[in-house]
Structure 1
Amino acid sequence: MSEDMLDRLLEKLDLAQKVRLLSGATTWRTAGEQAVGLREMVTSDGPAGVRGEAWDERLTSALLPSASAIGALWDEDLVEELGGLLASEAVRKGVDVVLAPTLNLHRTPLGGRHFECFSEDPVLTGRTGAALVRGIQAAGVAATAKHYVANDSETGRMHVDVRASERVLREVYLAPFEAVVGAGVWLVMAGYNSVNGATMTASPLLAEPLKGEWGFDGVVVSDWGALRSTLEPALAALDLAMPGPQGPWGASLVRAVRDGHVPERAVDEKVRRLLRLAGRVGALEPHRPPRTPAFGPDDTRTLLRRTVAAGSVLLSNRAALPLDPSALAEVAVIGVHADCPRLQGGGSAGVFPAHVVTPLDGIRARLEGLARVVHVPGPGLGVPPAPLGTDWCGDPRSGRPGVLLRLLDEAGHEIYAEHRLSGRQLEPPVTPAARTVEISALLRPQAAGEWTFGIAGFGRMSLTLGGRTVLDGTFPCTTDDPAVVHVNPPLHTVRATLDTTEPVLLTARRELVPGAGRATVVAAAAPEPEAAAALAEAVRAARDADAVIVVVGTTEHTETEGHDRGGLSLGGHQDELVRAVAAANRRTIAVVNSGGPVELPWRDEVGAVLLTWFPGQEAGAGLADVLFGDSEPGGRLPTTWAAALTDAPVTHAHPVDGRLAYDDGVHIGHRAWLRTGGRPAYWFGHGLGYTTWEYGTVHAPAEVTEGSSFAVLVQVRNTGDRPGREVVQVYLARPESTVERPVRWFAGYAAVHAEAGASASAVVEVPARALRHWSEAEEAWRTEPGTYRVMVGRSAGDLVWSGTVEVRGTR
């Protein structure tokens, strides 16, 4: 759309109409304006999938592997395909704007939202994010780069003031955003946090470098509820306040313009950007007609299954993998996560998949007719109870699997009722007369004993079991974090003994009060088995099996939006479980189901360690492909993993007096490990396949001119007996630099495929920006002339070649 056309549209709007466009019309929609043929634009959370406008478990979505799994792909073509799938899901759900990708970094292993971020490294994050943006926007759906900027931990995230130098921001935390702006992203989301004293919705960083130096011509949108004042964001470069219609702009902004506090040209510039976005997504007349999703169900399952295998990282392998199905008579599959895996992280990005292939499902399907599969869950995880579902709950009115949701008026009379599939209700269809939400279920307990029941939400809540009140209290809301208020309110639990397996009615009620959100969660958990007996059962199964697959991982309570992690332990008896079954059977494969780093104290005691991240809906199908050699585990670590939290060089995520100092500077991730001289369990870039590789000749230029890119050509040969994929990585160093530098830093990669015994050439492009640094004195990028080391290898800690390149200055 031409700038002249945008000007003509602007001329049709008065001040009030223009300002109305700058706040959301609803939680998920922007405002429309008939005078210029503008329809509402629909937004939806990402990147795990596209949920749409409603938190409704009946409205299902394709569930992708977590962003950390996508970061482990090191495959931009595949990432673009996944972006195309997100766009297809957006088209299916009538969504114009996908709120993804997340470009914040894995600064500390304790970050609670690791699963939603790609990597510890700004280069890898930028390349992966740019590929996802290209894939989404190729279909005419807008992508959103978030959360701008330095929103890298969850503790105090609504108000934390991150302190970082301009150089650190430019070289590390802003770099991924610069990369996706270069890829043409259409929206950037300003985070809740502040940077160097300015809240991001009013930060000067929105103007420079984002809109000025980088030339970003899209919309800067606030994170939901991040806008807290009128003047400062209006004078800054924020364009759109979400959600709406209530908020700090509206009539207050109109008055500020009329009183001369905000120039109308500032409002015009914001509206111009919003109209430009509308033109891009087909929201201006003539409106784009409805489109057909590019991915059908079979295409979706195939792509997601392939992605599980491609992102799985084989951390170690003592000839245990791949398993030969024809040589197996009995396989023991052990662990709670084998049958109840963690498929996605907790928080606002969650979606409801139509189906799930668990690890146990996938293994059973692959071995059907070939081997007997025995599942033993082992000890319980010791976590709070899970929301009611359809497995052992029934709607007390219809008898159908699930729960009954009712809305009651002030007198307790029913004004609305419907059957639902889950005890987790985040947006029940509340009417003005509603005063109470009630969720009830007829429990069909599988075992007698001491059960745990819970209810989550804010305000007055109660639980009754078989007509007996077991919990009743008032729980005030003490936070303004929307992830807590609207998605993950605290769960209040009580234990009660069921002395029968006969059905019993469980009823939960929550009074609706202003400011307490609409989320209500009702949960229950059966008695956990005695740990020693459960461990003994697992050991017996392991001892009798030809191979053991033990699946361990984190839970919704340890990796979620709104909270950072308290440690890296798997928790419960999981470490003890792995050690016990590994001692009973040398052919034990440990499958790790987590979104971010965890401690693996038994990693040298098992036959293989395979990391599957939060793998999405096709978890078990992709896992079986890897375990039995139908696919090679293709992933490489996007983040360095410590052997123990105490070894990690950067762990602090907690603000002090409201401030979080990025004292680590440019030394993030593997750079921090190199500076301290520590040795992690697994380096950034590490990952094994099912073949072996030999590195041959390396060609790199002896000399380049400042401001020029260069290529590193690496010959590799597949020395194994299977085809495979190798990810060749290039790192740089400047030992005699006059400015502080990392010991070495990641500069680029290229992946190659080769048949057994064949050779391949990897060409790694090193961009000119990889050599430069930000000069705070000159407020500009500068490249030091002189000698740089060029290193080639398989990870940040496994380098097989080193040479030098001389950089000639132009000044």
Structure 2
Amino acid sequence: MTPNDKKSYAALLSELTLQEKISLLSGNTFNTTPSVPRLGIPQIKVGDSINGIRPSAIDGGMATACFPSTTCLASTWDVELLERMGAEIAQQARLKSAQVVLGPTINIHRDPRSGRNFECFSEDPLLSGQLAGAIVNGIQKQGVGACPKHFVCNDSETMRHFYNVNESPNSRTLREIYLAAWQHLLRTSDPVGIMTAYNKVNGLFCGENKELISDILRGTWGYQGITMSDWFATHSTVPPIKAGLDLEMPFPFFRGGKLLKEVKVGNVAEAEIDQRALKMLELRDRTQACHQNEEERSELSDETNRIARELAAAGIVLLKNDNNVLPLSTTTPFKVAVIGEFAYDPVVTGGGSASCKPQYKQRPLDALQTLLSPDSTIRHSPGVRTRCIIPVAPTTQLTSSSGHPGADVSYFNDSAPSTPLLTELLPSPHVFMLGAFKPGLSVPSSRLEITTTLTPLSTGPHILAVRCTGAFTLTVDGAEPVLARDTQADVTTEQFLFNPTLLESRATLDMTAGQPYKIHLAMRSREALTLGEPTPYAATICFEEFASELAAIADAEALAAESDVSLVFCGRSDQYESEGFDLEEMALPRAQVDLLRAVARAGKRTVVVLYCGNPIELPEDVVGAVEGVVLAHFPGQEGGMAVGEVLTGKVNPSGRLGTSWWRTLGDAPSEGWFPAKRGEDGEVEIRYGEGVGVGYRSDGVEKRVRWPFGFGLSYTEFGYHGLKVVVEEEGEKPVLRCQIGVTNMGEREGKEVVRLYVGAVEAAVWRPERELKAFTKVLLQPGERKVVELEVDLKVACSYWDETGIAWKTEMGRYRVEVGGCREEVVVTKEVSWNHL
């Protein structure tokens, strides 16, 4: 289709029947909205997420290009690179025939325990909004739409469907932190959609909060795109329409026939339906370039992989490098101990809707063998296990009744309890159904049975486990049940998807190597269909052979003692950091702490490589004992080589923290206010008790952080000099303009992030000592000097939200400007109040 051939779907509004207009306002599957074939109006298909566009099926096995997690992207501080990434995300969306990408996620890193922080950018609203805007621009320049999320205050997963953020949208806290991120996003980009959050703000669900959607987002800020609910996040029919919510996802639970009835009785005017339907038609106009409807596929691309590696390497943060332990020499042979399971089975992403199945995984162990001198000795010790759940019993150790690897599964309806409705052979003892059941299977009133023969490879006290949604019994060799539960699992559909630990039951059994054990699992279906969401129906047999932590630590310790340098790969996985639940602590898993202490004690030099999305609390003695700490984040499918290139100096680390790393959980300003709590009245509430003092904005932050916001080391050094600041108050757009010289004083090429902070010297209300107002990233050759200019709207640079005047306010007075440790004071002579984007 050429530009001249483009249709105007918006022009078809008057030709739609009322029922057709209403049909456009809800999804019809988990990831599509209906079409109107008689008028040629296509469906809209959405795809999750910017870290990798997943296939449509919830349990689909198709792989996709897996990019680094969003905390890694934020640590790049690189607008140009993230816009290039957006273009690659658009191509991945086209491979899945999606018109809209659900993301990026720009909720604030308020607390280091939030399970979904890994898929958000930062504790800072400007950094979050501007980097997200770069990705949106990259996606939409390719004709695909982007839908940032979640508007607003979804910064906790605990009871996220219910909790109320007890703040007025006109409070300083919301305006200066949480809503500000969206302002910065919309100043730099024009996304086709915005997804509202699950939670309430000031007593109203975000999807039916008129003050948020119609008054602020559309009214004050002038946003013209669609608004859509998160999945199963609508709670009523009329209020979301009145508030301005265009699209209910994924199904018409509160729209469809219910909405038609409300129109007919006069509770909703057809003109209001027209407003919402017009937005959905305009969405189709803006995404016409990608309205193909082809079979989903995954394709390897050298260009995509190059950008994925560049992103991962650019986001890696060097946190400690005592005695120049890094970079490792690639020419001088030496002995290297590579310790930890993540070295050979790396973590690439967090869990939930921002996760995906990567096309491949690069192992850091393999990368180091490629990059280091061929005469170096590289040996590996697996270290301790890091997991919250027991893995699915491996097919290679299972035998079905027919002798083939796998398990037999039979399904029975209560109407014919002795005759199987269906029998199948599965390669894995894992059954997964969500809403759509096996043909003829009655839910409720049915059961399944999984039978297999398990042969252990070793002798010991092994773990057998079950994850089931219904009541169940598990027997071994026909004896009394080893595990049983007489009621269905007390979990929501969301917990079923994202928090399998709640489903798991475990038993320890002494088992003998090579001896076959007949395993039988019988599970009842759930007692009733889940209201408002698809009903889960799943059963899994899990198995893990015994492994001694003490022996694993001793092996790693011995290897470290024989090596010149020890690289310990540790941290968290998607089992710890995921959508659907929050962490309970900041600490590194205990066994990993014991491993680190032992290796640091025995080894000559120790470097820790951390995989995580959230800050991790490291004990003082561990930080003091190791020479190097490298933050790898969840680095995507190219992460193994990216980590290797940073460790060996092929890439000079340029990542800078987008979030403060606190010494302990008690040092975090949100510690006493997180997560949501249920009050005596039964209501679930979150209080933003720290107010505007989020992250580095809080008082006394220097004493409480291990590594501060913006921190990151390099293999070279940068010097700043000659700061010049000019305030231009006259003219149509008053600006604050800064100029500073930056010099690479080392012997390696390197990139530096130049950051501009502003703070009020005196103010009528409490204000943070400094706030980020602009940034850029520059490449400098050894000895090179560049003059960097940063310009920012003076109102944005100097204003705070005036709760009394219900507007942004710039006070007259002195302001402190800081760039690279250089400071200068300036004077603003005019007082200004304003309220626009």
What TM-score does the superposition give when structure 1 sets the normalisation length? Answer: 0.92
Residues of 1 paired with 2:706 and 2:463: CA distance? 37
Could you say if the C-alpha distance between residues 18 and 606 of structure 1 is closer, same or farther in structure 2, counting changes exceeding 3 Å? same
Given the alignment of the two structures, is residue 273 of structure 1 paired with residue 297 of structure 2, yes or no? no
Paired residue for 1:11?
14
Paired residue for 1:603?
623
- 1:556 CA drift (Å): 3.4
Given the alignment of the two structures, is residue 96 of structure 1 paired with residue 99 of structure 2, yes or no? yes
Instruction: Select between 32-41 and 696-705 the one with higher mean Cα deviation.
Output: 696-705
Given the alignment of the two structures, is residue 139 of structure 1 paired with residue 151 of structure 2, yes or no? no
Assess if the C-alpha contact under 8 Å between 1:749 and 1:765 holds in 2: no
Assess if the C-alpha contact under 8 Å between 1:338 and 1:360 holds in 2: yes
Paired residue for 1:446?
457
- 1:466 CA drift (Å): 5.2
Residues of 1 paired with 2:376 and 2:281: CA distance? 60
| CA offset digits 1:64-103 (Å, max 9, x no partner) | 1111111111011111122222211111111122111111
What runs of 5+ residues in structure 2 fail to find an aligned partner?
Answer: 833-837
Q: Secondary structure at the match of 2:471?
A: strand
What runs of 5+ residues in structure 1 fail to find an aligned partner?
Answer: 794-799
- 1:809 CA drift (Å): 1.7
Could you say if the C-alpha distance between residues 292 and 510 of structure 1 is closer, same or farther in structure 2, counting changes exceeding 3 Å? closer
Q: Secondary structure at the match of 2:104?
A: coil
Q: Secondary structure at the match of 2:637?
A: coil
Residues of 1 paired with 2:738 and 2:297: CA distance? 40
Map 1:207-286 to 2 at 5 A: 207-245=214-252, 247-282=253-288
- 1:634 CA drift (Å): 2.1
Paired residue for 1:650?
670
Aligned residues: 800
Residues of 2 paired with 1:554 and 1:294: CA distance? 28
Given the alignment of the two structures, is residue 664 of structure 1 paired with residue 669 of structure 2, yes or no? no
1:105 to 102, 108, 114: 108
Could you say if the C-alpha distance between residues 59 and 120 of structure 1 is closer, same or farther in structure 2, counting changes exceeding 3 Å? same
1:763 to 780, 783, 789: 789
Residues of 2 paired with 1:444 and 1:270: CA distance? 59
| CA offset digits 1:91-138 (Å, max 9, x no partner) | 111112211111101001111111111100000000111011111222
Q: Secondary structure at the match of 2:231?
A: coil
- 1:636 CA drift (Å): 0.6
Paired residue for 2:315?
311
Paired residue for 2:759?
733
What TM-score does the superposition give when structure 2 sets the normalisation length? Answer: 0.90
2:304 to 275, 278, 300: 300
Given the alignment of the two structures, is residue 806 of structure 1 paired with residue 817 of structure 2, yes or no? no
- 1:449 CA drift (Å): 1.5
Paired residue for 1:797?
none
- 1:596 CA drift (Å): 0.6
- 1:565 CA drift (Å): 1.3
Assess if the C-alpha contact under 8 Å between 1:703 and 1:807 holds in 2: no
| CA offset digits 1:651-691 (Å, max 9, x no partner) | 2322342111112121111001x356633100000001111
- 1:484 CA drift (Å): 3.7
Paired residue for 1:796?
none
Residues of 1 paired with 2:547 and 2:206: CA distance? 49
| CA offset digits 1:370-396 (Å, max 9, x no partner) | 323211122334643123456766777
Could you say if the C-alpha distance between residues 97 and 456 of structure 1 is closer, same or farther in structure 2, counting changes exceeding 3 Å? farther
State the one-letter code of the partner of 2:639. Answer: A
Instruction: Select between 391-400 and 543-552 the one with higher mean Cα deviation.
Output: 391-400
State the one-letter code of the partner of 1:323. Answer: L
Could you say if the C-alpha distance between residues 292 and 260 of structure 1 is closer, same or farther in structure 2, counting changes exceeding 3 Å? closer
Instruction: Select between 226-235 and 684-693 the one with higher mean Cα deviation.
Output: 226-235
Assess if the C-alpha contact under 8 Å between 1:703 and 1:805 holds in 2: no
Paired residue for 2:205?
199
- 1:62 CA drift (Å): 1.4
State the one-letter code of the partner of 2:757. Answer: Y
State the one-letter code of the partner of 2:471. Answer: R
State the one-letter code of the partner of 1:190. Answer: T
Assess if the C-alpha contact under 8 Å between 2:464 and 2:544 holds in 1: no
State the one-letter code of the partner of 1:805. Answer: V
- 1:276 CA drift (Å): 0.7
Could you say if the C-alpha distance between residues 676 and 503 of structure 1 is closer, same or farther in structure 2, counting changes exceeding 3 Å? same
Residues of 2 paired with 1:391 and 1:653: CA distance? 44
- 1:338 CA drift (Å): 2.1
Assess if the C-alpha contact under 8 Å between 2:64 and 2:298 holds in 1: no
State the one-letter code of the partner of 1:446. Answer: L
Given the alignment of the two structures, is residue 722 of structure 1 paired with residue 748 of structure 2, yes or no? yes
Instruction: Select between 784-793 and 121-130 the one with higher mean Cα deviation.
Output: 784-793
Given the alignment of the two structures, is residue 186 of structure 1 paired with residue 197 of structure 2, yes or no? no
Residues of 2 paired with 1:359 and 1:392: CA distance? 28
Paired residue for 2:377?
372
Q: Secondary structure at the match of 1:326?
A: coil
- 1:186 CA drift (Å): 0.8
Paired residue for 2:803?
776
- 1:340 CA drift (Å): 2.9
Residues of 1 paired with 2:60 and 2:296: CA distance? 23
Assess if the C-alpha contact under 8 Å between 2:435 and 2:535 holds in 1: no
Assess if the C-alpha contact under 8 Å between 1:437 and 1:509 holds in 2: yes
Could you say if the C-alpha distance between residues 660 and 644 of structure 1 is closer, same or farther in structure 2, counting changes exceeding 3 Å? same
Assess if the C-alpha contact under 8 Å between 2:668 and 2:695 holds in 1: no
| CA offset digits 1:698-726 (Å, max 9, x no partner) | 12115545952333222111111111111
- 1:512 CA drift (Å): 3.6
State the one-letter code of the partner of 2:558. Answer: R
Residues of 1 paired with 2:396 and 2:638: CA distance? 20
Instruction: Select between 728-737 and 42-51 the one with higher mean Cα deviation.
Output: 42-51
Assess if the C-alpha contact under 8 Å between 1:792 and 1:801 holds in 2: yes
Paired residue for 2:638?
618
Paired residue for 1:694?
719
State the one-letter code of the partner of 2:316. Answer: S
Q: Secondary structure at the match of 1:386?
A: coil
Paired residue for 2:506?
493
| Structure 1 vs Structure 2 CA RMSD | 2.9
% same residue: 32
Could you say if the C-alpha distance between residues 429 and 233 of structure 1 is closer, same or farther in structure 2, counting changes exceeding 3 Å? closer
Assess if the C-alpha contact under 8 Å between 1:315 and 1:688 holds in 2: yes
Assess if the C-alpha contact under 8 Å between 1:675 and 1:743 holds in 2: no
Given the alignment of the two structures, is residue 790 of structure 1 paired with residue 821 of structure 2, yes or no? no
- 1:695 CA drift (Å): 1.4
